[in-house]
Amino acid sequence: MRITFCCTHTKAAPWLEILRAALPGAVIEDWVSGAPVADYAVVWSPPQQFVDEQTAAPGHSLKAMFNTGAGVDALLQLRIPSNVKLVRLNDAGMSVQMAEYVCHAVIRHFREFDGYQADVAQGKWSYRKPRGRADFPVGVMGLGVLGSRVARALTHFDFPVLGWSRTPRQIDGVKTFSGAAQWDDFLVASKVLVCLLPLTPDTRNILNFANLAKLKEDGYVINVARGGHLVDDDLIALVNNGHLAGATLDVFRTEPLPGDHPFWRHPKITVTPHTSARTLRDETLAQIVGKIQALERGEAIEGVVDHARGY
């Protein structure tokens, strides 16, 4: 068996070492142009040339490309033959990180910790009126691997939690909505909106003026999915006109976020550098190795991307 590795923005050596230890009989190499065609590929943002070379021969052997992230929006921009499975990461240590990040952002906003920090910096011992938790319904867009974990985690802090997905889902303690028919009902009932959707033609620009204006007064936006979900100027307009209290953003249309982008300096917008749920090397490779072994035994695996759905 031959495995090729083509992940931009990461050093190949430690990944190859782990793969070689887990699959001792396999030939495992960092991809270079002209390399032999492999059976499996481990990828992040590979160039089109990689796909073209690996799939050029009519009877090519490439069976699956394993994405080292959960989101496959960038991969689906490439031309990939339909006989090559695209496999996304299923959790692999990301859902607990995402739950931490989102709960932290919700609680930091709800408890006004930024305000306390500013007061303390000026030596001020101040109290703020406690806010009513029942007035803080948190709506989670996307109830997949990450969204469902986040929604469940939020219920532990007794916030009213709502969730929206493409098809109906049930989660204990979460009021769920689905599809276009229930989209407005979900939005108007939410004060904090958390985006954990995949970026697809249906979800691009979904965080726009018309939709965000439907959130309850003093709404708050947390985008941890993809920058392409959010219309930046619409968010800024709604924060500046007072309908929204602010936002926490981890993902951006251009990453790194350009130095002159107004998000950097907006007092009500918190920015983090696409770090809410990092790919963890050991967990990721354990999952990929397990899936390669399952495919070799002819078994079905989780996380195979449906090209038509876009996720």
Interaction site with ligand NAP (CB under 6 A): 70-71, 94, 142-147, 164-167, 169, 196-200, 202-203, 224-226, 250-251, 274, 276-277, 311
Beta bridge partners of 35: none
Q: Binds 39, which of ligand NAP, ligand GLV, none (CB < 5 to 8 A, cut-off by type)?
A: none
3-state DSSP call for residue 139?
strand
d(CA 232, CA 209): 10
Active-site residue identified among 261, 266, 274, 281: 274
- Virtual CA dihedral for 252, 159, 90, 271, nearest 10 degrees? 20
Identified binder of ligand GLV from the candidate list 42, 65, 69, 109, rule CB under 6 A: 69
Using CB under 6 A as the binding rule, whether residue 139 contacts ligand GLV is answered as: no
Site string for ligand GLV, 74-113 (x = CB under 6 A): ---------------x------------------------
226: annotated active-site residue: yes
Q: How far is the CB of 131 from ligand NAP (least distance, A)?
A: 27
Q: How far is the CB of 241 from ligand GLV (least distance, A)?
A: 31
d(CA 225, CA 207): 11
Helices (H) and strands (E) in the chain, counts: 9, 12
Q: How far is the CB of 228 from ligand GLV (least distance, A)?
A: 12
CA 82 to centroid of chain Cα atoms: 24
Q: Binds 198, which of ligand GLV, ligand NAP, none (CB < 5 to 8 A, cut-off by type)?
A: ligand NAP
Active-site residue identified among 109, 149, 226, 229: 226
169: annotated active-site residue: no
Q: Binds 303, which of ligand NAP, ligand GLV, none (CB < 5 to 8 A, cut-off by type)?
A: none
Q: Which two tokens stand for residue 301?
A: 């695996």
Q: Which two tokens stand for residue 256?
A: 């790194």
Q: Whose structure tokens read 């859902």?
A: 95
Q: How far is the CB of 121 from ligand GLV (least distance, A)?
A: 33
Q: Which distant-in-sequence residues (6+ apart) come within 8 Å of 225 by Cβ?
A: 71, 141, 142, 195, 196, 197, 198, 199, 251
Which run of H or E residues covers position 179? none
Report the interface residues with ligand GLV, using CB under 6 A: 69-71, 89, 279
Active-site amino acid positions:
226, 274
